[in-house]
Amino acid sequence: MIHILIIIGAIGLAVQMVIGLSFFISCIIEKEKRAVIAASIQFIGMFILFGLYLIFIQEGFFDTTAGRTTLLVVYIITALFAFLLIRKTKANTKTILGTKGLITADDVKRFDERETVFARAGNLRPGTKQYEMFYAEHPEYKEFDDARRAKGVPMGHAGSIDQPYGNVNVAMMMACSSLPFYLSDKEKVQPAPHLSLEKELAKQKVAITPEEASERIKGFAKILGADLVGIAELNPLWVYSHRGRIVKDNMEDWGKEIPVAHRYAVVFAEEMKFDMIGSAPHTPTSIESMRNYAKGAFIAVQVASLVANLGYSATANHFRYYESLMVPLAVDAGLGELSRMGYLITREFGPRIRLSAVTTDLPLIPDKPVDIGVEDFCCICKKCAMCCPSGSIPDGDQVVVNGIYRWKLNAETCFAYWGKIGTDCNVCMRVCPWSHAQTFPHRLIKALTVRNALSRRLFNKMDDIFYGKKPAGKNVPKWATYKPWIQS
């Protein structure tokens, strides 16, 4: 029996050493200098431990009473630790309800898009009737907005953090933004059936079951480039009450009420590449943001067109045309959880995503919300709050805002910092422990983090040790550099 335990111990230490080696390689792939050093020390320690174990076997130590006792004690401690680390923690009763679990009152009001910092910055111009009307109703925003407006719109300072070397990256940012602008016309976001189908669809809608429609739409979205797709039953609270962000100066739509016309939402998430986000808050991260906004618009408009061609109503929601709030829809669609920083955190990519959606009256099968431990993890971590350059992310507990239990981001100071540096920052996204590359060790860590509360605490501390409490930015591919260009 003791010999079997000795063999199992050797195999266990060997597996541990392989995992340590894979983590060391992962750190090299991630270009994390601090983590590479820490992982190499860890691996050397594992290697020495394995070597000592083999020496003890060779010397017959485990054939003695002291050796057998030591081995049994180590096995008991290891088994207990493994049990505590792997066992399934009780589900978060709020999270498995989706956004319903965050609502604490019956009088929650729908959000008005006119009040968002983006709408106030992009569409309210002094001297216009919209300007006078809005600030008469919301004088609390006027002083901040006028001060920010005096400095110029954020896009007027695009890439300022990287000047004088960031002009090429700014050109790429703007190139990516051209597609969402093009796809924001009403006939594209609220499409009619294709002309060749109109007469046939006037007779009847295409017969399709909710199960078939759901599977086909998900498959279609993924072949178009969506990395994650989920379906939610649309809660009217997450539809904006009034239009606020107007594209192409069509100010006649500003302030129009948005009807709740649909029952379902198909939500898409597109991964933002790890190496580009690693530069945050510099211009490469904004190239990646705009690339994914363009990708989301490309997907959403085509899925909306598919639904229209089936004879049903659909609205594409993307970067330049939102009728609904994307994060709550994604939570209800089972793509992830709401985080301290206000972003959705997915199991697969953490917050490294951009969201788009299609709302529709086509009958579909909703997915269930998920509990992946994000709320608990965010209560422990606070790394995004510590690293936020503008101090906009709270480091305290969740609060009730408009009857909704959440962490309240200071949108004004966040947006002001965007305007100062000329990018969408993304530092919180970069430093989040859920954002690491999808390598084997990080997949394993995420699997344990999702299951177990103790793992969340352990791996949060390990992330601080290996990557630092305030992780440094990383170099990007040469084609996206924001530093002086040097010919190789």
Closest by CA to 416, choosing from 32, 83, 111, 145, is 145
Question: Token pair of 68, please?
Answer: 């057998």
Indicate the residue type of 198: E
What's the CA gap between 50 and 299, in Å, rounded? 51
CB 344 within 8 A of CB 330: yes
CB 279 within 8 A of CB 156: no
Q: Which residue has the tokens 């480091």?
A: 395
Question: Token pair of 16, please?
Answer: 């541990």
What's the CA gap between 340 and 143, in Å, rounded? 27
Question: Token pair of 128, please?
Answer: 């216009």
3-class SS at 302?
A: helix
Q: Where are the domains of the chain?
A: 2-86, 100-435
pLDDT attached to residue 149:
81
pLDDT attached to residue 488:
39
What are the C-alpha distances in Å from 423 to residues 129, 166, 176, 409, 417?
30, 11, 14, 18, 9
Residue 464 phi, psi (nearest 5): -65, -40
Q: Where are the extended beta strands (E) located within 126-283?
A: 228-233, 264-271
CB 423 within 8 A of CB 285: yes
- Mean pLDDT per 10-residue run, the chain (488 residues)? 83 92 93 93 93 90 88 90 91 94 91 94 87 92 86 70 92 94 92 75 80 98 98 97 84 90 97 95 96 97 96 95 97 98 97 98 97 96 96 95 94 91 95 95 95 95 95 91 75
Question: Token pair of 468, please?
Answer: 């630092």
CB 372 within 8 A of CB 336: yes
Q: Residue 159 region, left (φ>0) first, then alpha (ψ -120 to 50), else beta? A: left
Greatest alpha-carbon pair distance for the chain in Å reads 91
Beta-carbon neighbour count of residue 365 at 10 Å? 14
pLDDT attached to residue 155:
55
Q: Residue 197 region, left (φ>0) first, then alpha (ψ -120 to 50), else beta? A: alpha
CB 98 within 8 A of CB 372: no
| DSSP assigned state of 115 | G
What's the CA gap between 392 and 322, in Å, rounded? 24
Question: Token pair of 296, please?
Answer: 């989301």
CB 17 within 8 A of CB 48: no
Q: For 293-311, how does the pLDDT look when each residue is reduced to its tens digit (9 = 90+)?
A: 999 999 999 999 999 999 9
- Give 187: exposed, middle or buried? Use CB within 10 Å, 0-12, 13-18, 19+: exposed
pLDDT attached to residue 101:
94
What's the CA gap between 337 and 381, in Å, rounded? 15
